[in-house]
Structure 1
Amino acid sequence: MKPPPSVPLFERLPEIYRTRDVEQTPPNPLRAYLAAAEGPFSALHQNIGQFYEDLFIDTCDDWVIPYIADLLGATHLKGDPRTLRADVADTIALRRRKGTLGAIERLAVNLTGWACRGVELRVNLGWSQHLNHQRPDAGGSPPYGDPLRTRFDVPRGGSAPLRDPAALALLGTPFDNFACTADVKPAQGDARHVNLPNLAIFVWRLAAYRLARVLPLAKGSVDLGPQPAGLARFALRFDLHPLDLPVRLFNTSRPGFLRPDTSGGVVSPLTEPDAVPGPMLAARLTSGTKAGRPGDYVGVDFYDAAATPPHGFDLGDTGLQLWLPHTLAPLLVPQAPATEWQWRFRGDTLCAWESGLRRPLGSGEIVIDPAIGRVLIGLDSAAQAAELIVPDGSGLRSRMFASFTYGAAGPVGAHPLTRRFEAHTSGTDLRLVGDIPGGVTLQAALAGLATASKPVVIEIHDSLVHRIDLSLLPGTTIDGTLSLRLAEGLTIRAAGEHRPLVLLAQPLSLRPLTAAAAAPFTPQVRLEGLYLAPDPSAPFPAGHALIDRVAVARLEIIGCTLAPGGHSLRDGTRAPMQPALRLVDGYGFAAAADAEAFVPTPDIVISRSITGSIGVDPRYRLEIQESIVDAGLGLRDAPSGVLAIGAATSPATNWGADLHFDGLTCFGALRVASVGGLGGIFTQPFEVLDNQHGCIKWSAFSGAGDRLPPNHFCVFAGAARIVFSSERFNDPGYAQLARESSRAVRELGPGDDAMGAFGFTLEAHKWTNLQVRLREFIPVGVRPLLMPVT
């Protein structure tokens, strides 16, 4: 839709002229005349207005940032314009506080967007105090001047309290206050060297994504029999991930508020230990311990389950939040009317809860295993247990909702991101899905696609589980399989801040109404922000791909996760792999005449997504941008017959479709007809049929069995070290380049940044910018050590 002019000339005319303009024959000649002038006049008006905005760092265009930096005498940096803008905006404030820990942390946050903690490592040195020069502590006159201190408190640089696991959990972390001996080895980054001149700057590189509301998987309610007073009789078990995947729980980042100082500026408070976007520490979740801080990690609230849709899901600021039905609240009040029910928390290992608990479960106690995302709740009566877990057909259904936070290397795959869409117009058929007013199920929203008269947009407004069974839709049985028949284009997308899970009862198949109608108006399909996986409650065909037919002009997979499998199970083994696409020549048409009548060459576009293996025959075009393709084979795995990208038909002997990539991390071998691209990391052999044409730049290869076209600025694993934080899907550091990887891989990719799927995050620029500024802001004699925590 064309935006309205910033200066509507016609609307500014007196009413008499606008009225007479309508009365002319033909009508509105003056409106049409002025409309031709409104475009350039509005552009000129906006340009003049931008001149004023360019005077301020907050509102100026990106190209103006270095010019304002020149006025302040700040050196020029390269990278994300947002970080450069923040750096220039805080230049004066940081110069006033040059060398202070608050300024160092604020500088690092501005330049990287990561949470940061600065630590002067000299305070961790263990040394004997002179009686005339005693070292002060936070608790008063040393060593225990504060009468409120106990023998378990740790003075600065003190000994470790062996009886408090919550305090011991901070050992070796950025918040370690225990005494250490001096480390006289040469100081290097990425390692904690405790010595007088060393300043450690810890950064959390992984992004923490918070799912606003999910329905955990109820695993059962166990009657433990009669128990002594204070112990729970019923143990309710929940897996937070609805697909029963282990998930590492993260906390949310909660930087302190800036406070004014006496000079009229602001002071940045230092980062607190329980407010950083890192993995939750089980010991810190335990109530009743001196150093335990469960309130900083988990919250419990009640919602109105009787309302349609349910409401009362107010988000707190902790990494994990649980909502229980409000009908459970009266049952959780003890006999004594003066006291309210108090939840108690415990961090523990629940990987073997089927065989019993290591420690008894208290009444009103919530046990959390942050390493695998499990929750155990202790209740007193069957009535209380029935409020949280109810029978649902052949299984169980949870009535407890949860919001949890997990970590990932960046916005690749389906994540709860901010998304903005154009306003709905009459040109599309918008169908809302979810537990919102007017919302329907995804299955119901897919009805009537064959009779649609305009493109259909299905928007999902929650992060719950949605199921698709094509056999339940009329008219989908065609060409010997089940396929969605499309009369117009189709978009299925997640609303902002949501990550819906779409479970498929059978592979997703797409085709037009008739093959003859395919030219030139073949429908286009777009999937955005979805997490697609096989439905475990349905007989999804083993070994089949999630998408097995694309008889449309274009398929776009944007910001999606087509679950590749291969994740770590709770016993440490690896789950089986799941193919993502298998697209054969003939487009799935049963009749040869239909295949011949289908004119377009479908474009398969995958952007910022995670997928399993891709099998695409030559009559398609494949384009991959800033994505991960996972067939389960890393750098140290022996080659096998499984291809990450290849042909769908006889992949061992045939060649896959033409491939173009821009930022790709591929765990597996490739075998394609032709290729062109840049910024790839390939862990297994890469074979190209036409190696005389095309070009690959700034990429890393395994160096074993490759058949490549001309390549430039590329490296091979034998000469360049390539290390990932994790090669398993669903791990927090999945496909993240570790710091021990060679500089050529981390910093000499496209745009002088990292190769692979996460090059667009400009991590190399963030490291370089931070090091440049630290040289300017660190006092003489202080040695900064940059240390990634995640």
Structure 2
Amino acid sequence: MTPDDLYALLPAVHRRLDAENGHRLYALLSVIAEQARTVQEDMEQLYDNWFIETCEDWVVPYIGDLVGHRLLPGTAAALADGAGSPNGATAVTVPRRDVADTIAHRRRKGTLALLEDLAAGVAGWPARAVEYRRLLAVTQPVRRYGADPHDARRRLLRGGLVDVRHVDVLDRVGGPFDELARTVEVPRTGSARRPGRYGIPGVGLHVWRLRTHSVTQAPALCVDRARARYTFSVLGNDTPLFTAPVPEPSPCHVADEMNVPAPLRRRALAERLYDYYGPSKSVCVWTGGQVVAPNRIVSADLSGWHYRPRSGQVALDPVLGRIAFPPGEAPAGGHDIRVTYHHAVPGDLGGGEYPRAGAAAVTTAPNRYKVGPDREYGRISDAIDQWRSDKRWHPEKAEAVVEITGNDLYQDLTEIRLDLGDRLTIRAVDGVRPVIRLPLPSGDRPRALQITGTDADAGTDAASGTGEAAGTDSDIHDVHDIHVAAGRKQPPHLVLDGLVITGGSVQVRGSVGRLTIRHCTFVPGWELGPRSEPRHPDAAGLEIFDSPVRVDVEHSVIGTVGIARADEAPEPNVVALSDSVLDATSRDAAALTGSHGEPAHAVLTAHRTTVIGVVRARAVDLLEDCLLHGEAQITRRAQGSVRFCWLPTGSRTPPRFHCEPEHSGDAERVALRFAGTRYGTSDYVRLADGCAEEITRGAHDGAEPGALHDLFQLLREDNLRVRLAEFTPAGCDAGLFFAT
């Protein structure tokens, strides 16, 4: 409904009189039309709220109540907290898909396929259901041998000795796909203390909590050119490869290794090569732009690089993520080898091919410079140089986006110079993970990416040389305490989005107003070794030298942040972290610090952040839902607050609220333990399963604090356990097991 629609309903005489009096009535109808549109949209939404597919999130629990959907204990508090957040606890506590399938699930109660669907619909986890009764070693009844030959053969295979010739069966012992017969275990499968899998009523649901991220046609890293040795990971660490799950053929199908994101085994790759290998499958290798034929691929153990492939073969090790060519048969230079693979991560952090929130909004930017294969620019530095040249003659191009469209390795970017009024975004397009490797130092050039802000005006007239501004940048109005002289543009703003930077640090100098780091990885320790160990553990990831820059870090992984700025500076720097990891590679190393170990002249704000290392800062504004795996030493403890965090004993912070450990005597019981703290491993910053509940449920909404807060892992687990108890038939004993 528009003002013209309402205006057309008026008699012509009133429209004529309104035109003679300055269209005052039309202006009134414009206000009425705006409110009418709001009412009309609300009426349309009321109709959409009748259906589970189109209703709003807050309506889902009410529709679930109509069909008898059981809510978790304590759900009301979670819903009240997450009702306004699209990624909050609402969608996890009351999944829309689970409500929609409630009636259908009741009709399928008692089937293994239903348990797998419950895991996918309730928790969003791939799963495999196992009926342990079929794996028990039993005495074979002789009278049944002649009834059904196929059944007799199946029964003869149960309870026998292990056939050592079936190596693949032995490789799956102890996992979700174990086929060997076992004796009966007395403990119940669902026991909370000591679960026993193998029993007559036992049913196990094995779930995969880790996510798989793909890397598509990315360059492999040559670790030994003479012996033609490569790693799948361009960072140089050994990366276990995982299966890219394929959909199950029917709703009644029980998942196998191809349907779940399980680690790719050497024997499985050897025996089912054509299922795993290919351009659109779990793993693939290109040389010279051509796919290596499957008949050349050999699955091998490349630990220690002892295996030597024969002429014409290419050896792959999916457990270590390594590639070996016969000596002298690798492509010249080693730069034409590209790989596709999948690796496991605990969540969507740092640079990656996963969908990034807000990535589609940038594609409408008016001034874009595309970098990549078959694009106008082959290097990032060329696109930036062209942008600097264009904005001299066209001041409106001071706001621009440099888009990287390929999974390539870029080694040309060493400096980014920004002028007043500039707003530059360097981003990877959605579904791409470019890697920027900083070159080795030479001469006066350090091993770093230099971001320099100058006092020059981006709108300077190139012909006359005057410094008159041609416009203003309206998108940096929230830069912290930066006062701009009248008639001049605001300080520059640089956005890095979806990038992986390795081989050095990022240094900021000069009058840079704001630096936004979004979905990026500044590799902690600059480079990784074979076991993901940092090669330069004491090196900083982000360094600020005499710059008032405000740093915003979102969904990223960065190394140590060092701020070299005098205490007499007018205002401290602002460092704001959210849903990120600040990793100094060790809990005793400095994660945020100033010069020579002094406290950083900065104000720190952190939400849902994991910090590995010591924090030394002048002040904090708010620390909420954070895990600090290292002491926090804050100079000004009269301002700011710390809420729902875990901090080591001995930390000096502003007043705390609901932080752990609350008492020094609880330090041992409420100790913070991670499954892994090395970047590049699949368990990076994931809490260990044995952590105390005060930590795993220590956030303000009952979830785990830290960078993986928004996964709501424990809420998913609670919901799934309730559904298992609801849909498991009487007499069965269902247990939940974590495959990863």
Same fold per TM (> 0.5)?
yes
In 2 relative to 1, CA 524–175 (structure 1 residues): closer, same or farther, beyond 3 Å?
A: same
Matched residue, 1:582: 543
Distance 2:22 2:326 in 1: 76
Structure 1 SS opposite 2:212: strand
Residues 470 and 484, structure 1, Cα contact 8 Å, conserved in 2:
no
Residues 774 and 784, structure 1, Cα contact 8 Å, conserved in 2:
yes
Unaligned runs of 5+ in 2: 76-88, 440-446, 458-468, 470-482, 662-666
- Aligned partner letter, 2:231: D
Structure 1 SS opposite 2:178: coil
Structure 2 SS opposite 1:557: strand
Deviation at 1:439, TM superposition (A): 4.7
Distance 2:140 2:689 in 1: 39
Residues 627 and 646, structure 2, Cα contact 8 Å, conserved in 1:
yes
Matched residue, 1:712: 657
Matched residue, 2:473: none
In 2 relative to 1, CA 319–58 (structure 1 residues): closer, same or farther, beyond 3 Å?
A: same
- Aligned partner letter, 1:366: V
Deviation at 1:765, TM superposition (A): 0.9
Which residue, out of 659, 676, 679, partners 2:604? 659
Distance 1:135 1:761 in 2: 54
In 2 relative to 1, CA 430–27 (structure 1 residues): closer, same or farther, beyond 3 Å?
A: farther
Provide, for residues 602-641 of structure 1, a one-character-per-residue CA deviation record: whole Å limited to 9, x for no partner.
321111111111123562011111111111224xxxx4xx
Deviation at 1:194, TM superposition (A): 1.6
Distance 2:496 2:146 in 1: 62
Deviation at 1:782, TM superposition (A): 2.0
Deviation at 1:87, TM superposition (A): 0.7
In 2 relative to 1, CA 650–135 (structure 1 residues): closer, same or farther, beyond 3 Å?
A: farther
Residues 701 and 715, structure 1, Cα contact 8 Å, conserved in 2:
yes
Structure 1 SS opposite 2:98: helix
- Give the alignment of 1:660-675 within 5 angstroms: 660-675=605-620
Structure 2 SS opposite 1:141: helix
Distance 1:737 1:196 in 2: 34
Deviation at 1:421, TM superposition (A): 2.1
Which residue, out of 120, 143, 154, partners 1:132? 143
| TM-score, scaled relative to structure 1 | 0.76
- Aligned partner letter, 1:246: D
Matched residue, 2:85: none
Deviation at 1:399, TM superposition (A): 2.2
Structure 1 SS opposite 2:258: coil
The answer to which of 79-88 and 718-727 deviates more is: 79-88
Instruction: Please state if 1:193 is matched with 2:205.
Output: no
Matched residue, 1:304: none
Distance 1:463 1:59 in 2: 36
Residues 419 and 491, structure 2, Cα contact 8 Å, conserved in 1:
no
- Aligned partner letter, 2:202: N
Which residue, out of 470, 485, 490, partners 1:521? 490
- Give the alignment of 1:252-331 within 5 angstroms: 252-258=244-250, 267-286=251-270, 292-299=271-278, 315-316=279-280, 318-325=281-288
Residues 160 and 178, structure 1, Cα contact 8 Å, conserved in 2:
yes
Matched residue, 2:399: 455
Instruction: Please state if 1:81 is matched with 2:91.
Output: yes
Structure 1 SS opposite 2:608: strand
Matched residue, 2:448: 507
Distance 1:650 1:132 in 2: 84
Instruction: Please state if 1:389 is matched with 2:331.
Output: yes
Instruction: Please state if 1:552 is matched with 2:512.
Output: yes
- Aligned partner letter, 2:425: T
Instruction: Please state if 1:727 is matched with 2:677.
Output: yes
Which residue, out of 163, 171, 174, partners 1:172? 174
Distance 2:532 2:234 in 1: 20
Matched residue, 2:235: 243
- Aligned partner letter, 1:422: A
The answer to which of 239-248 and 170-179 deviates more is: 239-248
The answer to which of 562-571 and 462-471 deviates more is: 562-571
Structure 2 SS opposite 1:81: helix
In 2 relative to 1, CA 446–104 (structure 1 residues): closer, same or farther, beyond 3 Å?
A: same
Deviation at 1:364, TM superposition (A): 4.5
Deviation at 1:157, TM superposition (A): 5.5
- Aligned partner letter, 1:626: D
- Give the alignment of 1:605-754 within 5 angstroms: 605-616=552-563, 617=565, 619-634=572-587, 639=588, 642-647=589-594, 649-651=595-597, 653-675=598-620, 676-703=622-649, 705-716=650-661, 717-754=667-704
Deviation at 1:62, TM superposition (A): 0.6
- Aligned partner letter, 1:773: R
- Give the alignment of 1:62-211 within 5 angstroms: 62-77=57-72, 78=75, 79-81=89-91, 84-132=95-143, 140-143=150-153, 155=157, 158-185=160-187, 187=189, 188=191, 193-211=197-215
Structure 1 SS opposite 2:609: strand
**Which protein is richer in helix relative to its size?**
2
In 2 relative to 1, CA 322–10 (structure 1 residues): closer, same or farther, beyond 3 Å?
A: farther
In 2 relative to 1, CA 294–508 (structure 1 residues): closer, same or farther, beyond 3 Å?
A: same
In 2 relative to 1, CA 136–370 (structure 1 residues): closer, same or farther, beyond 3 Å?
A: farther
In 2 relative to 1, CA 398–160 (structure 1 residues): closer, same or farther, beyond 3 Å?
A: farther
Deviation at 1:117, TM superposition (A): 0.9
Distance 2:605 2:187 in 1: 47
Percentage of matched positions with identical amino acids:
25
Provide, for residues 435-469 of structure 1, a one-character-per-residue CA deviation record: whole Å limited to 9, x for no partner.
14445421111115555223111111122112344
In 2 relative to 1, CA 782–458 (structure 1 residues): closer, same or farther, beyond 3 Å?
A: same
Structure 2 SS opposite 1:280: coil
Distance 1:69 1:144 in 2: 43
Matched residue, 2:711: 761
- Aligned partner letter, 2:369: R
Instruction: Please state if 1:434 is matched with 2:389.
Output: no
Provide, for residues 548-571 of structure 1, a one-character-per-residue CA deviation record: whole Å limited to 9, x for no partner.
436322211111111003886336
Distance 1:499 1:696 in 2: 35
Which residue, out of 720, 734, 737, partners 1:784? 734
Structure 2 SS opposite 1:725: coil
CA-based RMSD of the aligned residues comes to: 3.4
Distance 1:200 1:693 in 2: 51
Structure 2 SS opposite 1:715: coil
Distance 2:691 2:618 in 1: 30
Deviation at 1:101, TM superposition (A): 0.8
Distance 2:7 2:284 in 1: 54
Distance 1:612 1:328 in 2: 36
Provide, for residues 256-285 of structure 1, a one-character-per-residue CA deviation record: whole Å limited to 9, x for no partner.
044xxxxxxxx3421112332122111211
Structure 1 SS opposite 2:267: helix
Distance 1:621 1:344 in 2: 55
Distance 1:132 1:347 in 2: 45
Provide, for residues 291-339 of structure 1, a one-character-per-residue CA deviation record: whole Å limited to 9, x for no partner.
x22223222xxxxxxxxxxxxxxx41x221223447799xxxxxxxxxx
Distance 1:743 1:186 in 2: 23
Distance 1:436 1:158 in 2: 60
Matched residue, 1:343: 295
Distance 2:71 2:524 in 1: 42
Distance 1:26 1:559 in 2: 56
Unaligned runs of 5+ in 1: 1-5, 146-153, 223-234, 259-266, 287-291, 300-314, 330-340, 391-395, 477-482, 535-539, 588-600
Structure 1 SS opposite 2:411: strand
Residues 137 and 158, structure 2, Cα contact 8 Å, conserved in 1:
no
Question: What is the number of residues matched between the two proteins?
Answer: 660
